[in-house]
Amino acid sequence: MATPSSSKFFGNPVVKWIEHRLPIFSFVDHSLGSQYPTPKNLSYWWNFGSLALAVLMVMIVSGIVLAMHFTPHVTMAFDSTERIMRDVNYGWLIRYIHMNGASFFFIVVYIHIFRGMYYGSYKAPREILWGLGVVILLLLMATAFMGYVLPWGQMSFWGATVITNLFSAIPLVGDYIVTWLWGGFAVENSTLNRFFSLHFLMPFLIVGVVVLHVWALHVHGSSNPIGIDAKGPQDKIPFHPYFTVKDAFGLTVFFIVFAAVIFFAPNVFGEPDNYIPANPLVTPEHIVPEWYFLPYYAILRAIPSKLLGVVAMFASILVLFILPWLDTSRVRSARFRPTYRWFFWIFVADCVVLGYIGAKPPEGWYLHIGRLATAWYFAHFLIVLPFLGWFERPLPLPASISEPVLKGAKATLMALAIGFGMLGFGAGPASAAGAPKPPAQKWSFDGVFGTFDAASRQRGFQVYREVCGACHALKQVYYRHLRDIGFSEDEVKAIAASVEVTDGPNDAGEMFQRPGRPSDRFKSPFANDNAARAGNNGALPVDLSLITKARPGGPDYLHALLTGYSDPPAGVKLSEGMNYNKYFPGNQIAMPQPLNADQVTYADGTKATVEQMAKDVTTFLAWAAEPELEARKRMGMKVMIFLVVLSALLFFVKRKVWSDVH
């Protein structure tokens, strides 16, 4: 099987010298090179294994880098994450890679698993290979869960609380286990610390199991779309260059999708609530796990018993371990199993339904559908698969892999596109009840090319400073950041110096007041949260640093809220001290109408209508929440163009390399 180029390589005296002492080149050549025979008919669905490996590497590299800047302490985790987003060089890029990488890891792994199910890749002699894959899935889920806790937002905290509480369902020892997991009596600093440690460790355990997984793979080689074993060398081609180039092409296509999300929709998989710092005293109204856990979450909630719900949830994954024995058919590929093919797609649809239900509140019809879907999930494994093997009449199998001319690269690519298209689902769970959807506005910073309207943003800063800043803090923003919105060095200094900040202790051991400096955070209007509550009838004015990221609807919602004040409609009774706002969830808001016409005097002569001020301050706050937005989109454009060209080149390389097969 040696290709001319590889025999030339192994003839090189330096290579020979090393090989004699450490046969590393022949090891690679046998693992992923010209000496690893691979079925020639693998479709693009077989790319997802190498994609998963690539994502694992991306996650490890970006994760190690993030750990250099992250502080796992309850008082600093959220802020240090924001510091990564704002002040660390390319920190926003690396964090968005890592954050979205988790979602893409699951997308790739789920497709990989469904491919295995469709083509019966788990059947003898690949049961252990499959089982190791399930172990990887479990480790991946644990890692993702702990990683989601680290930024210490509201969803982090409450997700951690709910998931760790699952273990309290265990009879007798449950409560002890939960206390042990927490290192306390609630999710707290000790929990965050250990989750950080374990989140760092587990990817390396995954690497270990991946090695076993690939080892097991190499014993019998890849399965293939036809599902029959290779009959001889005419059915196989060397992994290199055929599949190295095919995997490389697939990887660049994958990176195009990945980059599109990172640069242009980095929060599409996330929950706005996680941009609110963790608050152990208030649970968000709708707590939902990340999209990749939604189906299991639906199963958990489908069963009206704490213990059984937890058992069912874990069983839904553990059942995969025995799948090779539940499926009694001896035909691997669904291509030759006409009935199974139907049940496979029903099963896929069932998982999608479970995911949808997992994002909805557990009430009414959602609950019934969730129960049905849960029942079907288990029935598929425990009833359909065992019986189908006996009743189904498979189509005649071809005599060899080489026999049927495999067409359908186009169909496969289309299916791939559909696969990617499907993943968006579940990203947008229930919106706030009791308030209409805020009307969409046109924002200068919308879209792929959008940038902040600089004049509006500066006016917005004035509105914040003169109006909102009286009650609302902007803790994640520093005065020096104002240079980015067009203030000169001296203007920034003057703005900073206009406030007195507490510093110290001085040599006498006392705190003292000094004028602010550019390196100071925006001064908060109140010394602490309690003072803020006391000054506002008990209602805490929220920090505005991340407000457009922390609310569903973002800038549209903020604008709608600022302009949505009116007298209550007839029949609506307001509580003491509350105001009516059409767009506030529940319609009763403690904040009185903040913006009134001509409240500020714009230096550029723009008329200060409520509408104008609302637009301006929203633009400013959108910048405060996403100061990296313009740099992100600019870099995104370059990256996209580069990746498209590279994948086009690789497509032609792949065609060239493959031109002598078929």
Partner 1 sequence: MVNTAHSPTASHGAEGTRRDFLYLTAGAFGVVGAGATMWPFIHQMNPSADVLALSTTEVDVAPVAEGQSITVSWRGKPVFIRRRTQAEIQAARAININELPDPQADQARVKKPEWLILVGVCTHLGCVPLGQKTTDQRGEFGGWFCPCHGSHYDTSGRIRKGPAPANLPVPAYEFLSDTTVRIG
Structure-block tokens of residue 439: 């009307």
Q: Binding pattern to partner 1, positions 30-49, x when CB under 8 A? A: ----------x---------
Q: How many CB atoms lie within 10 A of CB 500?
A: 12
How deeply is 501 buried, as exposed, middle or buried, from its count of CB atoms within 10 A (0-12, 13-18, 19+)?
Answer: middle
Site for partner 1 in 536-575 (CB under 8 A): none
Q: Is residue 567 among the annotated active site residues?
A: no
Q: How many Å apart are CA 284 and CA 291, to the nearest integer?
A: 17
CB of 327 to partner 1, least distance (A): 33
**Secondary-structure percent of the chain, ordered helix, strand, coil, rounded to 5:** 60, 5, 35
Which region, judged by CB under 8 A, interacts with partner 1, from 114-122, 167-175, 434-442, 654-662? 654-662
Q: List the one residue from 52, 56, 77, 93 that touches partner 1 (CB under 8 A).
A: 93
Q: Is residue 112 among the annotated active site residues?
A: no
Which region, judged by CB under 8 A, interacts with partner 1, from 85-93, 352-360, 404-412, 550-558? 85-93
Nearer to partner 1, 368 or 634 (CB): 634
Task: Pick the closest to residue 547 from 475, 455, 629 (CA basis).
Answer: 475
Which region, judged by CB under 8 A, interacts with partner 1, from 122-130, 291-299, 560-568, 646-654? 646-654
Q: List the one residue from 32, 51, 85, 88 that touches partner 1 (CB under 8 A).
A: 88
Q: Which amino acid is at 383?
A: I
Q: How many Å apart are CA 540 and CA 543, to the nearest integer?
A: 9
Binding status of residue 656 toward partner 1 by CB under 8 A: yes
Q: Which residues are bridge partners to 579 per DSSP?
A: 589
Choice among 30, 69, 218, 523 that is catalytic: 218
DSSP tag of 334: G
Binding status of residue 87 toward partner 1 by CB under 8 A: yes
Q: List the one residue from 490, 510, 567, 660 that touches partner 1 (CB under 8 A).
A: 660
Q: Which residues are bridge partners to 90 per DSSP?
A: none
Question: Is the peptide bond between 125 and the residue preceding it cis, with omega within 30 degrees of 0?
Answer: yes
Nearer to partner 1, 215 or 652 (CB): 652
CB of 399 to partner 1, least distance (A): 19
* Helix 189-220 / helix 127-149 crossing angle, nearest 10 deg: 160
Q: List the one residue from 4, 171, 569, 571 that touches partner 1 (CB under 8 A).
A: 4
CB of 622 to partner 1, least distance (A): 20
Q: Kindly provide the b/e burial profile for residues 80-94, where b requires at least 16 CB atoms within 10 angstroms of the residue's own CB.
A: bbbbbbbebeebbbb
Task: Pick the closest to residue 169 from 370, 298, 309 (CA basis).
Answer: 309
Choice among 29, 290, 626, 628 that is catalytic: 290
CA angle 622, 624, 627 (to 5 degrees): 90
CB of 627 to partner 1, least distance (A): 10
Choice among 43, 222, 316, 647 that is catalytic: 222
Choice among 29, 235, 247, 271 that is catalytic: 247
CB of 523 to partner 1, least distance (A): 16
Which region, judged by CB under 8 A, interacts with partner 1, from 1-9, 127-135, 203-211, 535-543? 1-9
Nearer to partner 1, 68 or 418 (CB): 68
Sign of CA dihedral 620, 625, 627, 631: negative
Length of the chain, please? 662
Q: Binding pattern to partner 1, positions 496-535, x when CB under 8 A? A: -----------x----------xx----------------
Which region, judged by CB under 8 A, interacts with partner 1, from 48-56, 90-98, 316-324, 350-358? 90-98
Task: Pick the closest to residue 202 from 133, 258, 135, 297 (CA basis).
Answer: 135
CB of 1 to partner 1, least distance (A): 7
CA angle 509, 511, 514 (to 5 degrees): 130
Q: List the one residue from 15, 60, 61, 256 that touches partner 1 (CB under 8 A).
A: 61
Is the Cβ–Cβ distance between 287 and 159 less than 8 Å? yes
Site for partner 1 in 246-285 (CB under 8 A): 248
Greatest distance between any 2 Cα atoms in the chain: 92
> What residues contact residue 129 under an 8 Å CB cut-off, 6+ apart?
121, 122, 213, 216, 217
Task: Pick the closest to residue 72 from 144, 142, 147 (CA basis).
Answer: 147
Task: Pick the closest to residue 63 from 204, 183, 172 (CA basis).
Answer: 204
Q: Is residue 246 among the annotated active site residues?
A: yes
Nearer to partner 1, 87 or 453 (CB): 87
Site for partner 1 in 194-233 (CB under 8 A): 233
Q: How many Å apart are CA 35 and CA 237, to the nearest integer?
A: 9
Nearer to partner 1, 395 or 631 (CB): 631
Site for partner 1 in 613-642 (CB under 8 A): 642
Binding status of residue 368 toward partner 1 by CB under 8 A: no
Q: Is residue 403 among the annotated active site residues?
A: no
Binding status of residue 604 toward partner 1 by CB under 8 A: no
Nearer to partner 1, 6 or 618 (CB): 6
CB of 223 to partner 1, least distance (A): 20
Binding status of residue 3 toward partner 1 by CB under 8 A: yes
Q: Is residue 222 among the annotated active site residues?
A: yes
CB of 150 to partner 1, least distance (A): 17
Nearer to partner 1, 4 or 605 (CB): 4
Which region, judged by CB under 8 A, interacts with partner 1, from 140-148, 271-279, 288-296, 647-655? 647-655
CB of 423 to partner 1, least distance (A): 24
Nearer to partner 1, 514 or 607 (CB): 514
> What residues contact residue 270 under an 8 Å CB cut-off, 6+ apart?
99
Total of residues contacting partner 1 (CB under 8 A): 38
Task: Pick the closest to residue 301 from 319, 317, 284, 288 (CA basis).
Answer: 288
**Using H for helix, E for strand and C for coil, what is the string for 490-557?**
HHHHHHHHCCEEEECCCCCCCCEEEECCCCCECCCCCCCHHHHHHCCCCCCCCCCCCCCCCCCCHHHH
Q: List the one residue from 122, 336, 478, 487 that touches partner 1 (CB under 8 A).
A: 478
Is the Cβ–Cβ distance between 313 and 166 less than 8 Å? yes
CB of 42 to partner 1, least distance (A): 14
Q: How many CB atoms lie within 10 A of CB 285?
A: 12
Nearer to partner 1, 342 or 512 (CB): 512
Residues at the site binding partner 1, with contacts judged by CB under 8 A: 1, 3-4, 40, 61-62, 65, 68-69, 83, 86-91, 93-94, 233-234, 237, 248, 478, 480, 507, 518-519, 642-643, 645-646, 649-650, 652-653, 656, 660-661
Q: Which residue numbers are catalytic?
A: 218, 222, 246-247, 290
